[in-house]
Structure 1
Amino acid sequence: MSLTSGIVVTPLRPEQAGDFLRFFDHERGIAFADNPQWAKCYCHYYQVPKSIRWASLSAPQNRTAMRARIEVGEMEGFLAYDGGEVVGWVNAQPRHKLPHCFARLGISPTPLPCAPFEAAAIVCFVIAPTQRRRGIARALLRGALESFAVRGFKLVDAFPFKAGDSELAADHYHGPLPIFLDAGFGVLSEHKDLTVVRKLL
């Protein structure tokens, strides 16, 4: 558990399925209050094979799929709470639980100097619009790194967009590059729209 400025970060557990779903609930949750076009996602996008057309999936389908993954302990990530309310989320998982993420990212899988089950990946941050600029993304990143290190992971990869000076949430949902560099990540490779960064644990 990571603590900063009143924010408590905890790993996602099956009993937190309700908290997760309330945060994301389509047209009601606070996660995408300022980006309603994303509201159907439930952070399911990177779990879906590229052969399935994302636009064909509805909010109820994504919600049901994510609820099932959480309740059986298959979905991993970290929730940020403030006063018992979820204010942020990071999709940070063992790499073998994200078999479709590289196809969805449009890049080749990054090479590994370790076994796949010893590597983790960070693919999405979602911070409640009213709670941004409080350091919640940094707290989530710190909590994820601490957890992965304790569990014996060897490295973590992340994929920040090349967003320049943009302050739009849509340009930073992979996490802004500076928070990774400040946490000790190094640049692994550059692509047209994103940078791959890696931290050895």
Structure 2
Amino acid sequence: MTIEVRPASLFEDVRALVGPKSPGANVCWCLSYRIPSGLNKELRGPARGEYVAGLCRADPPPGVLAYDGDEPVGWAAVAPRSTTSFARNRRIPHVDDLPVWSLWCIRVRPGHRKQGISHALIAGAVEFARAQGAPAVEAYPLDCGDARVDLTMAYAGIRRNFERAVTHAADTTSVLAGHPRVVMRLDLR
């Protein structure tokens, strides 16, 4: 299998990874950290997908997709921290004042897991951010050691999956699915 990571500019491929099975469902669409909470609550059903379609047409697009041939098999959300709720999150500290990019969601389709796709997504997200001029990339994965994490909550990533590409920069007071989150970071300057 050869995995290629590309900018997430094709809405249908993004929908295949983060969209609902039913168009009217009110699922995340990977918007929870990307948009203000009021707008997140306001966007219902198909309006959520329409919003994401607009993000896919924007420059830069909302993240990266991993492909096995023409099939989208993984997603990573990455954007300037200043445009996310991480800019205001009191539980996840800012290491410094650099205009870093945040990498906050990793999703690999069932049937494609345990094949290194999350590692390819992390590396691809870092390269995408670098190409956009980011001075650094941060992620906020779970520090769960060897404990298993419910797949629904594993979107934040697992610290050990990030350790190949980025290093531990800070602890946080944020907890997700019963596990502490850490700040992992890579300086791109």
Superposition TM-score tier, normalisation by shorter sequence: 0.7 to 0.9
Shift of residue 142, structure 1, vs aligned partner: 0.8
Partner of 1:197: 184
Uncovered stretches (5+) of structure 2, i.e. residues with no partner: 176-180
Name the structure with the higher helix share: 1
Aligned partners of 1:27 and 1:178: how far apart in 2? 30
Deviation at 1:97, TM superposition (A): 2.9
Match of residue 155 from structure 1? 136
Question: Where in structure 1 are there 5+ consecutive unaligned residues?
Answer: 30-36
Q: Distance in 1 between matches of 2:49 and 2:86?
A: 19
Deviation at 1:45, TM superposition (A): 1.3
Label 1:66 to 1:150 Cα distance change in 2 as closer, same or farther (>3 A): closer
Give the equivalent residue in structure 2 for 1:112.
96
Q: Structure 2 counterpart of 1:25, which letter?
A: G
Paired with 2:49 and 2:37, the residues of 1 have a C-alpha distance of 19
Per-residue Cα deviation, 1:121-177 (whole angstroms, up to 9, x for no partner): 101011101111111010011112223334432211111124341142123211110
Question: What CA RMSD, in Å, does the superposition of the two structures yield over aligned residues?
Answer: 2.5
Distance between the aligned counterparts of 1:97 and 1:153, measured in 2?
A: 13
User: Structure 1 residues 57, 162: closer, same or farther in 2, change over 3 A?
Assistant: farther
**8 Å contact from structure 1 (residues 80, 140) kept in 2:** yes
2:63 to 64, 69, 77: 77
Runs of 4+ in 1 over 6 A off after TM superposition: none
What is the CA-CA distance between 1:200 and the residue it aligns to?
A: 1.3
Provide the residue aligned with 1:173 in structure 2. Answer: 155
Counterpart of 2:13? 19
Q: Is the 8 A contact 2:91 2:172 kept in 1?
A: no
1:13-162 matches, cutoff 5 A: 13=9, 16-27=10-21, 40-52=27-39, 54=41, 57-73=43-59, 75-98=61-84, 100-103=85-88, 107=91, 110-114=94-98, 116=99, 119-162=100-143
Query: 2:40 & 2:97 partners in 1: Cα distance?
Result: 33
Partner residue of 2:5 out of 9, 15, 28: 9
* Structure 1 match to 2:178: none
Partner Cα distance (2:51, 2:131) in 1: 29
Secondary structure of the structure 2 residue equivalent to 1:156: strand
Q: What is the alpha-carbon distance in structure 2 between the residues aligned to residue 136 and residue 174 of structure 1?
A: 15
CA distance in 1, matches of 2:130, 2:58: 23
Q: Deviations over 1:58-111 (max 9, x none)?
A: 33121111111222335421001112111110001122332x2355x6625514
Aligned residues, how many?
181
Q: With the length of structure 1 as denominator, give the TM-score of the two structures.
A: 0.77
SS of equivalent residue, structure 1 residue 129: coil
CA distance in structure 1 between the partners assigned to 2:47 and 2:87 by the alignment:
22
Structure with greater proportional strand content: 2
Q: When the two structures are superposed, what TM-score results if normalisation uses the length of structure 2?
A: 0.81
